[in-house]
Amino acid sequence: MLYLSDEGFKPVEKLVPMTKSSLIFSTLLILWSLSVAQARATFTITEGVYQSQTVKRDVPYWAMIPTSNGRHPSPVVYFLHGRGGSPRQFLEVDGAKMLEAHVKNGGRPFAVIALSGRVDDRDTYWVNEVRGLPWADMLLKEMIPALEVKYFVGVHPENRMIAGISMGSNGAFQLGLNSQGMFRCAAGHSIVVRDYASASQQFPLAFGTRAEFALRDPLSLMKAYVDRRQIPLQKVWIDIGKQDDPLFLRQARLFKRELERVGYSANRGDKLDVDITQGRHDDFYWKQRMAEYIRWYDRCFVSSRR
């Protein structure tokens, strides 16, 4: 899908004189074919494994990299999958398809690197596990810097953002806040901000005591701030469908309230879509909104150069 090939080009067996109209038609057809080929050659898709020294594991990732970064590193979105998912979730919910269409329609190309939040057949919830592995530190301090050197992306905070779906939405804000300035923007799709009872019961290795949970919970972390100017995230996006899980909806309303309290708002380019859009917690909802997500990611990077 993303690579040029000579498939479909066959040797001409017989040359036939062309009329003027057929020549014009053929020329237009060739130009259209070249434009399609050029659009499809904008990205290279890679699936790889990073050998982490921090957690002593092979950590998979999925990457969609612009083929011609030029002299400057490409902007990059780090994309975090949902519970039970994999780095391929961005591809599975039409992310690659929508990013290609975005560029074909004149949008700015940027890289997407989808990370893994699973280890040993369990979800880490993207945190430093209290009774497990330092997954967040591994991503922020080891894996992301290595990937940025390998693919010539990111390099500085204005050139990075972090986004995720479901469990990954929690990870996006937790990592975005705890990394203290590593990412310009954060986006949480079908935002999941669990309360202590839910988190500690379902992820016993990850969260520990209430005090330990508060250090890993986006809602608790946000409550520590008085004004958005203190917060390392310059722009934020959250959304959740009106037919999502009642617990997730309740917690999303609380998180939205905290974001508004410190000064995030639609007037400043943020998106706080709670109790607005129809949808459930599923692939259909994410596919339906993916083009909108991609456009906002682009605006995050564009605004950083103004």
Task: Quote the pLDDT of residue 12.
Answer: 28
Written as tens digits, the pLDDT of the chain (306 aa) is 443 322 222 232 332 344 555 445 444 443 344 343 344 458 999 999 999 999 999 999 999 999 876 788 999 999 999 999 999 999 999 999 999 999 999 999 999 999 999 999 999 999 999 999 999 999 999 999 999 999 999 999 999 999 999 999 999 999 999 998 999 999 999 999 999 999 999 999 999 999 999 999 999 999 999 999 999 999 999 999 999 999 999 999 999 999 999 999 999 999 999 989 999 999 999 999 999 999 999 999 875 443
Task: Quote the pLDDT of residue 68.
Answer: 74
Q: How far is CA 297 from CA 43, 220, 287, in A?
A: 17, 25, 16
Task: Quote the pLDDT of residue 69.
Answer: 63
Its domain, for residue 297, covers: 45-303
Task: Quote the pLDDT of residue 235.
Answer: 96
Closest by CA position to 124, among listed 168, 62, 165, 164: 168
Structure tokens at 175: 């990592």
Coil vs helix vs strand at 162: strand
> 10 Å Cβ neighbour count for 90?
29
Please name the residues in contact with 232: beta carbons below 8 A apart, sequence gap of 6 or more: 157, 176, 177, 179, 180, 181, 182, 183
- The end-to-end CA distance of the chain, in Å, is 34
Closest by CA position to 54, among listed 175, 121, 142, 182: 142
DSSP state of 69: -
Residue 20 lies in a domain: no
Residue 52 lies in a domain: yes
Residue 277 lies in a domain: yes
Region for residue 49 given its phi and psi (left: phi exceeds 0; alpha: psi -120 to 50; beta: otherwise): beta
Task: Quote the pLDDT of residue 33.
Answer: 40
Task: Quote the pLDDT of residue 137.
Answer: 98
Closest by CA position to 75, among listed 297, 306, 227, 262: 297
| Cα–Cα dist 228/231, whole Å | 5
Please name the residues in contact with 197: beta carbons below 8 A apart, sequence gap of 6 or more: none
- What domain count does the chain have? 1
Which CATH number does the domain housing residue 60 bear?
Answer: 3.40.50.1820
